[in-house]
Chains A and B, each alone.
Chain A
Amino acid sequence: MRRVLVQSDTFEVQSQYATLTDAFPGAAVATFTGYVREFCDNGDVVALELEHYPGMTETVLESLGEQASHRFGLKGWRIVHRFGRLGTADPIVWVGVVADHRTPAFHGCQFIMDALKTDAPFWKREHLDDGSAKWVAAQCSDTKRREHWRLNEEIK
């Protein structure tokens, strides 16, 4: 089973969940799904465009999954991330992890999400209802979340 999917097509959360848990049965499963927001600081969003770096994206996501697996002792993990033009409320990203207990499951899922925000080569551009489009700037809060995992390696 491929553990990283980078695709323009949409995906179904139920089917991703089943693929993960069929391949990696376990006692604790944590997942996260991110959807396109309908608003931003500059107005109402009508579409979100995601550019990415083919090749590096897959390499980075694979590496983050492996890091999480090693650090939190995960039994399995899976990451799905879309690129291209997405409509509001469309799913963008799905992360699922399987562990023996809830704490490594929660932490593993959160680590992957926090890390991919700053480390995976995607760039978002919001298209607004007034016809304008603007690249989304990287958030300091995301960088701080990433640093938190680097500085607190005792969190498993």
Chain B
Amino acid sequence: MVTIKFFSLVREALQLEQVTMALPEGVQTLADLKNHLVELNGDHWRTVLYQPNIVHALDHRVVDVDAPIKDGAEVAFFPPMTGG
């Protein structure tokens, strides 16, 4: 299984906080997973997940989109952070 979380503007745009799914066949990287989500959910998801400044996290670490994904991973998509 893979858990996918959405925060802030991304959460609002998709009207979804979290989704859990079996690791889809053929999905090996975060980029593959994004493509899979867009194929499942349509163009609105493409617009949201392919925003130029979107941040990707894998198991609580910010990663590049070519990061490999394994079963049990926790993935998150969100805009640039504004802490402090």
Contact = CB atoms under 8 A, between A and B. Distances in A.
Interface residues of A, number: 25
A118 B60 contact: no
A97 interface: no
B17 to A, nearest CB: 10
Q: Chain B contact residues (Cβ within 8 angstroms of A): what range?
A: 10 to 19
* A-B pairs with lowest CB-CB distance, top 9: A138-B80, A123-B8, A120-B83, A56-B60, A122-B83, A117-B84, A59-B60, A116-B83, A124-B82
B9 interface: yes
Nearest to A136: B82
A123 B7 contact: yes
Given A53-B5, A53-B7, A121-B57, A135 B79 contact: yes
Given A81-B83, A117-B83, A135-B9, 10 more contacts: A51-B7, A53-B57, A56-B57, A93-B84, A116-B83, A118-B83, A121-B57, A122-B81, A137-B80, A138-B82
Interface in B47-84: 53, 57, 60-62, 76, 78-84
